Amino acid sequence: MIRSGLWMVALNVAGRLLGMVRQLCQAHLAGHADHSHRLWTLLTFEVWLRTFPQWPRSLAPEGLPAPIALMRSGPAGGRG
């Protein structure tokens, strides 16, 4: 029971983080702000997490898009 509760918290946090990253991408692509350093840092961290097999993929919520999909989604999608 505790495990499933923690899983729900993790999904909620992941969803909020995904939304925040999507907003960063959209603002950056629309030219409203220069988030290049933040986005590069996030992409590098994503690659690092996928590089090391000791990070269990089973902990990642299913259905999250690949990082590049985040940059192409939303009203500013397709540019960049």
Q: How confident is the model at residue 76 (pLDDT cuts 50, 70, 90)?
A: very low
**Contact, 57 vs 65, CB < 8 A?**
no
In tens, the pLDDT along 8-60 reads 666 677 778 888 889 999 999 999 999 999 999 988 988 887 787 666 555 55
Rounded Cα–Cα distance for residues 26 and 53 (Å): 31
One-letter identity of residue 16: R
Is 0.85 surpassed by the pTM of this model?
no
Q: Give the per-residue pLDDT at 73.
A: 54
**Contact, 76 vs 29, CB < 8 A?**
yes
Place of tokens 């909020």: 16
Q: How confident is the model at residue 62 (pLDDT cuts 50, 70, 90)?
A: low
